[in-house]
Structure 1
Amino acid sequence: MVSLSPRLRRVGSTGDLMVRAASAALPLIDRGSLRQLETHFIAPEIYRRDDLARRQGQLAQLISDRVIPQLLRLHSDVVPDAPPVEVVVKALAPDRDDITGLADIILGSDLEAAVSYVTLLRERGLSMDALFVELLEPTARHLGEMWDHDLCDFIDVTLGVARLQKLLAAFNNSHIAPQLDSRRAVLMAMTPGDQHFFGVTMVERFLLASGWKVRTETSASAAEIADATQGSWFAVAGLTAGSEQMIDSLTTTIARIRQQSCNPHIGIMVGGPIFTANPALAAEVGADATAPNAPTAVLIAQKLFDTAIARQGPRAAG
């Protein structure tokens, strides 16, 4: 499961949660901008699909069988009794059906339906941070598991993850400044001393297919990796570590990146078996987040990008 460090979590009282839900602006998107987002977040060679009619039918069936009955149940069972807010939020929290349901929707071609799906949950009291941790990230992880079990192909997973990126960007309003596209850049690197190429190569493949600009370093020293972030602007740095023997080297590399990066708000994500087994280790080495597979790493990168842009404010588009 993904782990976000405490400095990226926003934990408030239940009252604060409801106030944020009531005052949060809906994403400033329309059908025209949704169509533009199709090419904004998906590499052109990836964007192809010739089974639109079948997928639209599946989407309609999903909404009919799962989404509408759930909303009716919530309306009849939760609202009249006026239970404590904690009970309402717990009842609305995404479950396994919500996760697989969103996966089915984003594997189709109707992004507007996916936006509506997330909007419904958000309007009922869930913050965007909660939705990321409990719905969007688990959906990306679910897509990765489907790919691992040959339930969908690389194109399916890439399109799905790219659309999850678009959802996140739309609700965080980081899609509305075209200039920001040039800053969707990631530095991928292996921890000095590591010899496991597969993980970083797979993440690189998904990032490229999802519209990111990627620079990959597989044999650089900690100083060379940090120098790369000093010489070029990266929204995110991703580092992999294959074993616990790499912990000290990884910690040193992350510290140097934070000291030298020309982006003072650079997001750092880490991956590898040691973090899959112990996600809390990411914070211990100084990273912002970790992800268990490549599709999830793409969504984490977008989350870190949105966080960095929000911290920089209007200057980020310059």
Structure 2
Amino acid sequence: MSKTDDAADNFILSARRDGVHLEAIYLGYVAGAARRLGDMWDNDEISFVDVTLACGKLYRIIRGLRHVIAPTILGDRDDWPAMFALVPGETHTLGIEIATDMFRREGWDVDMKVALDHDTLVEQSDRRNYKAIVLVANSDSMVEPLTRLVLALRIAQPLAHVIVAGNILQHHADIIDVVGADAVMKDIDSAVSTLRRLIENNDAP
């Protein structure tokens, strides 16, 4: 929440220079900050704008730690595991069911999650090491729960690419910046090739 833009980055760099173990940095400082932000948001102590700015700083730290975390995660990951999930509060399942079926036919190992609350969805996401997590949201009212979910999944799945899909894209052309996603899935026809290209480009050495 500091007004100094690089204060959080400098804090993490200082901890690493002091020899603090990566797990303590990630699960203690970064995850702890994310939980604190969630509590403050729930208690109306900070605004949506405050949360968005703070999340941006956390995302930057997580991306900076990815190359350090990767070796301990990649060894146990299947070739193309993905999670497709409805944002808590959404009820229209047809689109996500069609997309899940299509991706499975293209060789992806997709876990579909619908009708789950925030905590359950995050807990279930932590059971596998996903390459991609596709979050489906349709209504404009889903921006806040979507933002909170993206933040939690960044902590639970630091190497996964988080993609937003659904009619919410019609309401927010800047959804990537608003919620901190990696990309959007605009249409079902090009979805498979778009996601595969995103992952291959970002996972290349």
TM-score of the aligned structures, taking structure 2 as reference length: 0.58
- Is the 1:235–1:308 Cα contact (8 Å) retained in structure 2? no
- Is the 2:77–2:130 Cα contact (8 Å) retained in structure 1? no
Give the equivalent residue in structure 2 for 1:221.
Answer: 117
Deviation at 1:296, TM superposition (A): 2.2
| 1:274 lines up with 2:158 in the alignment | no
1:209 to 61, 83, 105: 105
1:150-165 equivalences in 2 (<5 Å) = none
Deviation at 1:250, TM superposition (A): 0.7
2:182 to 277, 288, 309: 288
Deviation at 1:181, TM superposition (A): 9.0
1:120-269 equivalences in 2 (<5 Å) = 182-261=78-157, 264-269=158-163
Give the equivalent residue in structure 1 for 2:199.
Answer: 305
Counterparts of 1:231 and 1:186, CA distance in 2: 12
1:43-62 equivalences in 2 (<5 Å) = none
Structure 2 unaligned residues grouped into runs of 5+: 1-74
SS of structure 2 residue aligned to 1:295: coil
Which residue identity lines up with residue 169 of structure 2 in the other structure?
A: F
- Is the 1:240–1:272 Cα contact (8 Å) retained in structure 2? yes
- Is the 2:164–2:181 Cα contact (8 Å) retained in structure 1? yes
Structure with larger Rg: 1
- Is the 1:270–1:287 Cα contact (8 Å) retained in structure 2? yes
- Is the 1:289–1:300 Cα contact (8 Å) retained in structure 2? no
Deviation at 1:299, TM superposition (A): 2.0
After superposition, the C-alpha distances for 1:237-258 in whole angstroms (9 at most, x for unaligned) are 0011110111111111110000
Counterparts of 1:198 and 1:309, CA distance in 2: 31
Counterparts of 1:223 and 1:307, CA distance in 2: 31
After superposition, the C-alpha distances for 1:19-63 in whole angstroms (9 at most, x for unaligned) are xxxxxxxxxxxxxxxxxxxxxxxxxxxxxxxxxxxxxxxxxxxxx
- Is the 1:279–1:290 Cα contact (8 Å) retained in structure 2? no
Structure 1 unaligned residues grouped into runs of 5+: 1-178, 314-318
Describe the shift of the 1:286–1:223 C-alpha distance in structure 2 as closer, same or farther (beyond 3 A). same
- Is the 1:267–1:308 Cα contact (8 Å) retained in structure 2? no
Describe the shift of the 1:185–1:308 C-alpha distance in structure 2 as closer, same or farther (beyond 3 A). farther
Identity %: 21
Deviation at 1:303, TM superposition (A): 2.5
TM-score of the aligned structures, taking structure 1 as reference length: 0.38
Describe the shift of the 1:277–1:299 C-alpha distance in structure 2 as closer, same or farther (beyond 3 A). farther
- Is the 1:190–1:241 Cα contact (8 Å) retained in structure 2? yes
Counterparts of 1:182 and 1:231, CA distance in 2: 13
More helix, by proportion: 1
Deviation at 1:227, TM superposition (A): 1.8
Which residue identity lines up with residue 190 of structure 1 in the other structure?
A: L
Counterparts of 1:233 and 1:308, CA distance in 2: 16
